[in-house]
Amino acid sequence: MNSFTKNKIFSFFSSIALISWNGYSVAARGQIMSFTLFLIEFYALNKLINEKKKIFIPVLLTIPLLVVNFHASVLPVYFVFYLPYIAEYIVSKLKIINSEESKILVNKIDNKTFVTLVIIMVLSLFIGLISPIGIDAYKYMFNVMGGVSTDFIAELQPVNFADNPAYVFLIVLFVVMIGFTKIKVRLTDLLYIVGFLVLSLPTNRCIFFFYMFAGSCILRITFEFIKDSKFKINVYESKILIALLILVLVLIIVSSIKGIYNKCEEPYVDYEKLPENATNYILNNIDQDNMRIFNHFDFGSFMEYKGIKVFLDSRSEMYTEEFNEGVTILEDWYLTDVGKKSYKELMEKYDITHAILYNDELTALYIADDEDWNCIYKDDTFCIYEKVNK
């Protein structure tokens, strides 16, 4: 934000807000790498276009190689960042918008910079192929968003406005700035906001992009409005704002220390969510080579971490026809889990010999009364059933 507004105080508070709204996205997954790389790309493009700093060219060419190998499913987003600048160049050449009369400002991008931008983008298309999955990296994102995974995985479902007040706040703030003030808006900012809004509405997974990039543009517009308004405040001389800054810093430090302390006090494994003892039982008492186990989607990855071959895990797309022809494991599990498909049909189809389940899930309630299955393990949360040989 500071590179956009050149105001450290406003940038500080804006950055804290954007990071806070994206707290749920910070997880030990590939997305933490791709999101960080996109932030670097956003910054590098601004420096290259607006300040002609060619040192960022190798940075931009390296990013698609890292994204495709760390988090391939979001590779197409890399190219979205180029589109506003390409559109701005075309608009400026065609003189579609008169910046003096319109509320939209069109920055002129010189021909040399535009050619450089296009060359980087084209080279990046080929660099994005340097991964084990090749051309499939460009289809990955769309296959996931169009598959059965969207039926029950929250991050792949459309945005729920009630659960995202910050999202609504930014949209309302944008509408107010555009519709009810005289502030002029850069075309690139406008395109970033609209583009990432369109990208985020169909899926929660993309709301991060709206917060970090569209949000940055909206807050930059807001800063320009504050700077040009009649209520100007010299933030460097304001004792109130300095005191507020100190207060926020203290709250952040105290909250961080408290959060770290609480995490240190928590057990390494949450036994109510992950079958630590149940998986240990499997490893110690069941022949892994002759076992075909059925498990719930929620803890498949944990079982794999423990060294157990699973029925399915959180890489949901791998168990769908969109990625593996003829494979319907995810759909079969989901229909069984909600009671729309007989568990017996599923067990027979995949020749299941064992099942690890939540005690209160629907399949467990049915299988408990099935004489073809014996309960060989049970704790407060999980149970393990073994098929009876007849």
Q: Give 316-348 pLDDT, tens digit per residue.
A: 778 888 778 888 898 899 899 888 889 999 999
Same domain, residue pair 184 and 58 = yes
- Of 177, 197, 232, the residue that ends a domain is 232
Q: Which of 232, 267, 294 is the last residue in one of the domains? A: 232
Based on the domain organization, do 374 and 225 belong to the same domain?
A: no
Q: Please give the residue that has the higher pLDDT: either 203 or 194.
A: 194
What's the structural domain count of the chain? 2
Query: Would you call 314 exposed, middle or buried from its count of C-beta atoms within 10 A (0-12, 13-18, 19+)?
Result: middle
How far is C-alpha 218 from the geometric centre of its chain's CA atoms? 20
Q: Which amino acid is at 53?
A: K
- Provide the pLDDT confidence category of residue 1 given band limits of 50, 70 and 90: low
> For residues 150 and 143, is the Cβ–Cβ distance under 8 A?
no
Q: From CA 134, how far away is CA 294, in angstroms rounded?
A: 32
Q: Are residues 227 and 280 both part of a single domain?
A: no
User: Which domain covers residue 149, as residue numbers?
Assistant: 2-232
pLDDT at 269: 63
- pTM of the model as a whole: 0.75
d(CA 67, CA 83): 18
CA distance 232 to 229: 6
**Of the residues 169, 202, 232, which one is the last residue of a structural domain?**
232
Confidence of residue 27 (pLDDT cuts 50, 70, 90): low
pLDDT exceeds 80 at position 94: yes
280 and 226 share one domain:
no
Say if 265 falls within a structural domain.
no
Beta-strand ranges (E) seen in the chain are 104-105, 185-186, 293-295, 354-358, 373-378, 382-387
Find all residues with CB under 8 Å of 217, minimum gap 6, and list them: 188, 189, 190, 192, 193
Give yes or no: residues 157 and 224 share one domain: yes
Local structure of 104: helix, strand or coil: strand
Mean pLDDT lowest for which of 30-34, 123-127, 143-147, 326-330? 143-147
pLDDT tens column, 49-58: 988 899 999 9
Domain assignment present for residue 223? The answer is yes
23-27, 332-336, 371-375: segment of lowest average pLDDT: 23-27
**Average model confidence (pLDDT) across the chain:** 84
Burial group, residue 201, by CB count within 10 angstroms (0-12, 13-18, 19+) = middle
pLDDT at 148: 65
Across residues 354-367, what is the average pLDDT? 92
Q: Which residue has better confidence, 177 or 150?
A: 177
Most confident of 153-167, 224-238, 299-313: 299-313
Whether 125 shows a pLDDT value over 90: the answer reads yes
Flag whether 105 is in a domain: yes
pLDDT above 90 coverage of the chain, percent: 40
Are 295 and 303 contacting, i.e. CB atoms less than 8 angstroms apart? yes
What phi and psi, each to the nearest 5 degrees, are found at residue 7? -130, 110
Q: Diameter of the chain by CA atoms?
A: 85
